[in-house]
Structure formats: structure tokens, C-alpha cells
Amino acid sequence: MGILGIISGTIAVEKSDLLKDCKTLIVSNDYGKSCILVTDKIALIPRHGNDPKEHTPPHLINHRANLQALKDLGAAEVVALNSTGSLQKDLCPGMIVIPDDFINLTATPTIHQNKAVHVVPSLNENIRRKLLRAANNCQIPVVEKGIYWQTTGPRLETKAEIRMMANFADIVGMTMASEAVIAQESGLSYASICSVDNFGNGLAEKPLSLKEIMAGARKNAAAMMRIIQNYMELSS
């Protein structure tokens, strides 16, 4: 398989065995700069940056630079780890979803600035199936399909927006659709593992506290990195 590209949030990279002896690189390409944690097997981009004091909000992430950086390092497959909110009452915080489609009705970034190149957006089914096998091997329960709705951020959604989106999607986030489109334009195979960290606005009688959300996110992050580890073993 060669080197595996990974794009994750900050929590997912904390204390991961996959990142032992990693080198931190700042690489530049035609689209900008990216911070990458590199070993001989993976190239991982913390999409919000590697310094909590300089957190990059979702609407300012340079997806084009990030995906190009992974491509330049030789990654052909990219697995993303995404934090999401639930749009459905039966999708509870602490669950993990392997989405099979997405919706994004706002402007999507593209590598094609001065010409019309039309891709048919999708998530790579081969990677999805391998992620499902890896989760099963690790005995980690996951939801095998789901539709991800991307909003622009950084604000959260109104109650009315959540009710509307719930008619068409299962989870909501701010980054995955943009990454998926740029990856496809760049010739990279891309799929995602989504952590359900909270219920959407108005879905729960008592919203989770930030402490509860972060604890659930850390638990899911550890599970998702175990899935990645097994995914790499399946690919070797």
C-alpha cells in the first residue's frame, strides 16, 4: 500500500502508538503550508494544526494544501477521522459511523480555479469496506452507513437547521465533504471514520457538558486509531 495518509482532529493524535518516533514536517506546495507528522508508514495531518494555542477553525483549513502534501509524500489512500454531531436520536454520543455519502450545499473548495472540471463526489468504497473489516477485527461496533451533512462553521447549527438536516442526513460536521472533494480531484482515494460526540442542537433534553463531550471524543479517538492500526495490517 505504501504510506497511508491520515487527516484527523487534535484529540485523535494524542498518545497514539502509531506516532511513536514521528517527525514533524512543515511542507509547502502551490496551495500553501501544512504540518505533517510522518513515520515510515503514515503521514498524518492534524487538520486544526499541531499547536492547541494556534487552533485553525474549520472554515479556515487549507484542504488543498493538506491533500497535496499527502499526495507529494506518496500517499494514495487517505483515511479521515472526523468529529460529528448526531442528527438522529438513535445515533448516540460515543458511537462511530463509517459514512457512505455526504451533503454539502455551500461553496466547496476546488483545486481547479480557472477551468470547469466536474467530478462526481463520492467516498471510496474499497477503503470503506476495509475500515469495516478492521473495526470488526478489533471488535469495535460501528454504524456501517450514514450520510454526513457539512456546514461551514465555525458556529454550531440552530435547532431549526438540525430539524431540517435530520430529514436527509445522519450526522453533521464541518470538514469531511471538503476533504473528500479535494481528494477526488487530486486522484486520492478517501473515506472517513466519524466519531459521534454530541447530539445536534435541540435533539437532547439535556445537552452534554463540554467535559462529557471531550471524554467521549477521547474514547472514540482511541478506538478509531485501533481501527486504523488494523486497517494498515490488512493492507500490508
Confidence (pLDDT) at 14: 60
State residue 12's pLDDT score: 63
Cβ-based neighbour number of residue 189 at 10 Å: 17
User: Mean pLDDT, to the nearest integer, of 185-205?
Assistant: 93
Name the 3-class secondary structure at 110: coil
- Which parts of 57-188 are beta strand (E)? 77-86, 96-97, 101-103, 147-150, 171-173
* pLDDT for residue 120: 86
Structural domain tally of the chain?
A: 1
Give per-residue pLDDT as tens, 109-125. 888 877 877 888 899 99
pTM over 0.85: yes
With a cut of 70, say whether residue 3 has pLDDT above it: yes
Mean pLDDT of the chain: 91
Integer angstrom CA distances of residue 29 from 70, 98, 211, 230: 11, 30, 38, 31
Percent of the chain with pLDDT over 70: 97
Preceding amide of 154 cis, omega within 30: yes
**pLDDT of 1 higher than 70:** no
CA–CA dist 35, 22 (Å, integer): 12
Residue 214 has pLDDT above 80, yes or no: no
Residue 68 domain boundaries: 4-235
What tens digit of pLDDT does each residue of 216-225 get?
788 888 899 9
Of residues 188, 205, 207, 206, the one with CA closest to residue 197: 207
What are the pLDDT digits (tens) for 41-100?
999 999 998 877 788 999 999 999 999 999 999 999 999 999 999 999 999 999 999 999
Q: Residue 190 belongs to a domain with what CATH number? A: 3.40.50.1580
Interval 181-194: pLDDT, tens: 999 999 999 999 99
pLDDT at 38 over 80: yes
**What is the band of 160 on the pLDDT scale with cuts at 50, 70, 90?**
very high
pLDDT at position 107 is 83
